[in-house]
Amino acid sequence: MSGPISLEPGDAEQDTLALRLAEPRPPRRRPRWALDDATLAIRLPRTGPDEEAVSELAAELADRVGPAVHPYEVAALLEAEGLSAALIKERYGHPNLFSLAAALYERVPRTFPQPAPVPDPWRPDTVRCLLRGLLFALPGLAYLLTAPLWNAGENAPALIVAGLASWAWGQALGHRAHLRMATGRHEAGRTLLIGAPSGAVLATTAAALSVGGGPVTLVAAAQSAYLAAAGVLLVLARERLLLAALTPLIAGAAVLPWGEPGPVLRATLPLLALLATLAVTGHVLRAALAAEPVTGGTRPRPLWSLPYGLFGLAAGLLVLLEGRHEPYAVIVLTVSMGPAEWLLYRYRGLSVAALRATATPAAFLLRSAGILGLCLLGYLLPLLPAAWLTGAEPAALLLLAAALWTALLLQAFGAAWSSAVITLTAAACAGTATVLHLPGNGLALAASCGAATLCLVACALGLLGRPAPHA
């Protein structure tokens, strides 16, 4: 072939065979240990490591060798820096890479830099928690408004039975709805659409059977319908809508100190609040059901929600026993559920922070115990002056509050059966002493709640004093 060979198509200036030198690349930053090797040098063989050269290299790489947890990490660093086996032998006098890495690992003190601060994943919504505590207590205004219209001595047992049934059913339904929420909002809406009316019917039936029917059954039905609808709104985080629906009750109660509203307003305002709550609940459920359904989701077993319902029943019984002697203490306890929820979030956030601040399981257990004690103290201290203001016995109220909060804490971490069994046992003991009029039955509730609190705290330390549940 006598013609020229084209090495790069389309290049008019390179139509003939030519030899071209490679274009110079930008100089790469060389470490200090390589700067002296830019020129040819003759080095005499060493009989051992050059301590001065190793010390210089250790000083240069101290910020990256210090956090290493094993010499192999240092070896990987040296290899990434480009130290060859020949250079290691000639300049530093070590037989291989791993020998030099071990020497650097021993020379440089261990440093453990703190990770960058991250936002608290369990930061509570203070306004929402306080609002939820208020919403737990606001329905009591209905009983205040309608008190002259019915006989509390004859009709209260039916409402108490309906309330206990609604409370237990609502706790179980709320747990199941939250499990379904993990699949999708549509699935949670379907669970609430079926479960809430079923719970209202069950509570009304229980009330009717307890008194043999009568007009009080209608009142129990209204109470059960409200509790079912309010539970739906709370599960779906629509607290502000529920507050707006209860505006008639708030307006009626605000009028009472200034005058008598009359029987018509006393009956109409609670009915308006009930109808508004039902209407808002229907609107929220319709929006939840309009979400895109998720196919292939697994249904949780009903047994998983059973301990939550049993705890709701036990908590209702304990509060009922406290309310027999100190009715105002029940109001204090109900309002305190908002701060209790806030403290549950704070406990989880502080526990996550403790994971970063401790290095051993024993240290984490000690700090976890301190966090538990701090949260319990923060919950119980405000209840002490509230008990004095309402004339309630502080010991029984504080021990009951401590038992309920610790049980809720265990439930938040999935330990539902232990909290349910302990609180049910406490309710059974206190209830038996009250029904049988045993000697010292006035102290039975405080003693039962105190023993339950000790058991619950022991369970909490045993479960939550380990890092695994908080990881």
User: pLDDT, tens digit, for every residue of 272-282?
Assistant: 999 999 999 99
Tokens for 145, please give them.
């408004």
DSSP string for 202-266: HHHHHHHHHHTSSTHHHHHHHHHHHHHHHHHHHHTT-HHHHHHHTHHHHHHHHHGGG----HHHH
Residue 32 pLDDT: 52
The region of weakest confidence among 144-148, 347-351, 366-370, 458-462 is 144-148
What is the band of 55 on the pLDDT scale with cuts at 50, 70, 90?
A: confident
Average pLDDT (44-52) is 69
Rounded CA gap, 460 and 129, in Å? 23
**Residue 66 main-chain phi, psi, to 5 deg:** -55, -45
User: Cα separations (Å) of 381 from 86, 370, 385, 402, 446?
Assistant: 71, 16, 8, 11, 17
Interval 357-381: pLDDT, tens: 888 899 999 999 999 999 999 999 9
Rounded CA gap, 278 and 379, in Å? 33
Rounded CA gap, 242 and 128, in Å? 12
**Using alpha carbons only, how large is the chain's radius of gyration in Å?**
35
The set of residues, in sequence order, having a beta carbon less than 8 Å from that of 179 and lying 6+ positions away, is: 300, 304, 305
Rounded CA gap, 55 and 269, in Å? 85
Tokens for 316, please give them.
């209702």
Average pLDDT (27-43) is 50
Going through 270-327 in order, the beta strands assigned E by DSSP cover none
Contact by Cβ (8 Å): 163, 223 = yes
The region of weakest confidence among 49-53, 61-65, 205-209, 408-412 is 49-53
Going through 324-452 in order, the beta strands assigned E by DSSP cover none
Rounded CA gap, 276 and 252, in Å? 15
What is the band of 270 on the pLDDT scale with cuts at 50, 70, 90?
A: very high
Residue 10 pLDDT: 45
Tokens for 130, please give them.
């306080």
Name which of 150, 140, 141 is nearest 216 in CA terms.
150
The percentage of the chain sitting over the pLDDT mark of 70, rounded to a whole number, equals 89
Residue 382 pLDDT: 92
pLDDT greater at residue 381 or residue 436: 381
Residue 46 pLDDT: 54
3-state secondary structure of 110: coil
Rounded CA gap, 71 and 85, in Å? 17
Indicate the average pLDDT of the chain.
86
Rounded CA gap, 266 and 260, in Å? 9
- Please say if the pLDDT value at position 20 is more than 60: no
Number of H helices, E strands in the chain: 22, 0
The set of residues, in sequence order, having a beta carbon less than 8 Å from that of 219 and lying 6+ positions away, is: 150, 155, 158, 159
Rounded CA gap, 454 and 457, in Å? 5
- Please say if the pLDDT value at position 316 is more than 90: yes
The percentage of the chain sitting over the pLDDT mark of 90, rounded to a whole number, equals 51
DSSP 38: G
Which position has the token pair 């390179």? 14
Alpha carbon 50 to chain centroid distance?
57
What is the band of 83 on the pLDDT scale with cuts at 50, 70, 90?
A: confident
The length of the chain in residues reads: 471
- Please say if the pLDDT value at position 152 is more than 60: yes
pTM (predicted TM-score): 0.77
Residue 9 pLDDT: 42
Mutual orientation of helices 361-380 and 383-390 as an angle, nearest 10°?
30
Residue 314 pLDDT: 95
Average pLDDT (54-72) is 87
Rounded CA gap, 303 and 307, in Å? 8
Q: What is the largest CA-CA distance in the chain?
A: 123
Residue 327 pLDDT: 85
The set of residues, in sequence order, having a beta carbon less than 8 Å from that of 468 and lying 6+ positions away, is: none
Average pLDDT (10-27) is 45
Residue 21 pLDDT: 43
